């Protein structure tokens, strides 16, 4: 599948694991499919792979994946420079791919993993897509719309709420951004 100039990685579409709903009743021995024994780490590492692709393409290294039923249904990384598109954030591309894969704009039952706290645009798209869960890595003190500047996912005036878990692999997610911007300034 090709969307916005990106091909959904075939190897990612075959990633299998237990559904996130099953994690509450598991023992430590049951986490063998998850490196480090943490339920979100495996998926965040795959989002980091997307961020590394962005860095290699001289894009701001942010990556995202959408997981449904224990498999990746959408993935993306920043492509604003390549596409000359201000909306080509990793989350937007991953959400678009997931909707195409699932045949619905409603991404109920999905979890979005993203290496950087979503901005207001992406948080709005996540809300519109009815994504029930977002897992994010590094905080974004300049544009974060989940916890840092705004709390859009918890705004009672909106008709949808999004559960979220932040700071997953935050050091690694932040380091790739820091290194990228350091290389630009140096």
φ, ψ dihedrals at 46, nearest 5°: -70, -35
Q: Answer yes or no: 91 catalytic.
A: yes
Side-chain-side CA neighbours of residue 171 (13 Å) = 0
Pairing outcome for strands 63-68 and 71-77? antiparallel
| Sign of the four-CA dihedral 80, 148, 48, 3 | negative
Residue of 50, 59, 91, 117 with catalytic role: 91
> Whole-angstrom Cα distance, residue 111 to residue 114?
10
State the catalytic residues. Answer: 91
């Amino acid at each position: 599948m090709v969307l916005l100039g990106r091909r959904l990685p075939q190897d990612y579409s075959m990633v299998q694991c237990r559904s996130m709903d099953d994690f509450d009743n598991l023992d430590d021995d049951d986490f063998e499919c998850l490196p480090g024994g943490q339920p979100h780490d495996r998926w965040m590492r795959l989002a980091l792979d997307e961020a590394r692709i962005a860095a290699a393409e001289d894009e701001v290294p942010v990556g995202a994946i959408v997981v449904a039923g224990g498999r990746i249904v959408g993935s993306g990384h920043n492509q604003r420079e390549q596409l000359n598109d201000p909306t080509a954030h990793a989350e937007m591309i991953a959400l678009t791919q997931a909707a195409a894969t699932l045949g619905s704009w409603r991404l109920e039952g999905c979890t979005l993993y993203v290496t950087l706290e979503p901005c207001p645009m992406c948080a709005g798209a996540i809300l519109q897509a009815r994504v029930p869960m977002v897992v994010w890595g590094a905080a974004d003190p300049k544009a974060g719309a989940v916890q840092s500047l705004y709390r859009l996912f918890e705004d009672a005036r909106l008709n949808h709420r999004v559960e979220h878990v932040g700071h997953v692999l935050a050091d690694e997610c932040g380091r790739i951004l820091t290194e990228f911007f350091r290389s630009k300034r140096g």
